[in-house]
Amino acid sequence: MTQTELAEKRVELWRLRPDLAPNDEKEIRKFIKEAGFCYTYHIPKDTIPSLIQTVSGAVNAPGRYKNSPDDPFYEMINETYRSYYNQKLFIEVVVFGKHPVIVYRDVLARLYRLTGTDVQRGYLSRRKRNTNLEKAIISYLNEKGPATRRELRLSLFDKRKNSAIKLTKAIESLGRQLKVIRTRQENNELRWITPEKWNPHLCNEAIKIERDEAIEYLALRFLQISVASSRKALRRFFKNVIPPAVMDHTLNSLIQRGIIVIDPDLIVDGKRALKAR
């Protein structure tokens, strides 16, 4: 496979042409299910698609949609967000880094298996002792349900000058651990909730998944939607979930079993690319 062929395959798979772009929220949900992963906004030069890129049907998509009635995708995208809140089929997470990623429920179950609570013995990545503020946020969300940043700040802080900054850092920390996820409600307002509160059935289902199966599933899902990628890209994308040494061991095992193959003609990140068979 050449770089040109890789780009052409991604155009087809990611629906980056007007004739392939989804026409309604049902088609968007179908795309998210097939993809497993997609960024909410367009992140140039990365190896998974973005929602706004696919909905726009263009390789050079806008950075993010305007979220105003004059935007051509306004209602379609908002209806998509309402559907995930109501049906709990997919959700936005920030476990991969600063950019929100939409994941389908099968992907979320595997992520939760690897980053769940101590009681469920789900941790794989480095353990982190949460601060008192982070514990208070989790407790509040489990008791009260979805909450905005403002509701959390007013409930957990006095009128202190740096409360907004402290709250943001705490939510970002919890998001990287997948202890909180963010939902969009009827008016597209962002609210935070714990995975257990958002979908307890999925969390209970996740506990029964084998750890190694979860890691292999995530690696293969990533390669399938990226068409072809590199070890470096996989390690970078999953760094908050899967330690690099574990990812390398998993990839070696999949290669030995013939589930992943090395493309001798395609170079990604300076190495021969990996792709799912």
Tell me the C-alpha distance between 51 and 53, whole Å.
5
Contact 183, 191 (CB under 8 A): yes
- Whether residue 68 is predicted with pLDDT greater than 70 in this model: the reply is no
At position 90, the amino acid (one-letter code) is: F
107-206 and 227-277: identical CATH topology: yes
**Mean pLDDT score of the chain:** 85
Write out the two tokens for 79.
């209806």
- Whether residue 36 is predicted with pLDDT greater than 90 in this model: the reply is yes
Tell me the C-alpha distance between 135 and 129, whole Å.
10
For the purposes of burial, counting CB atoms within 10 Å of the CB of 117, is it exposed (0-12), middle (13-18) or buried (19 or more)? middle
Q: Could you tell me the fold of the domain covering 227-277?
A: Arc Repressor Mutant, subunit A (1.10.10)
- Whether residue 94 is predicted with pLDDT greater than 80 in this model: the reply is yes
pLDDT of residue 117: 52
Single out the residue of 164, 165, 199 nearest to residue 181, CA to CA. 199
Ordered by start, the domain boundaries in the chain are: 107-206, 227-277
Contact 107, 37 (CB under 8 A): yes
Tell me the C-alpha distance between 156 and 177, whole Å.
21
Instruction: Please compute the mean of the pLDDT values over residues 147-157 and round it to a whole number.
Output: 90
What are 172-204's pLDDT values in tens digits?
A: 999 988 899 988 776 677 899 999 999 999 989
pLDDT of residue 267: 86
Q: Name the pTM for this structure.
A: 0.88
Percent of the chain with pLDDT over 70: 88
What are 95-112's pLDDT values in tens digits?
A: 998 888 999 999 999 999
Tell me the C-alpha distance between 181 and 114, whole Å.
15
Three-state SS letters, 191-252: EEECHHHHCHHHHHHHHCCCHHHHHHHHHHHHHHHHCCECHHHHHHHCCCCCCHHHHHHHHH
CATH architecture, range 107-206: Orthogonal Bundle (1.10)
Instruction: Please compute the mean of the pLDDT values over residues 116-140 and round it to a whole number.
Output: 69
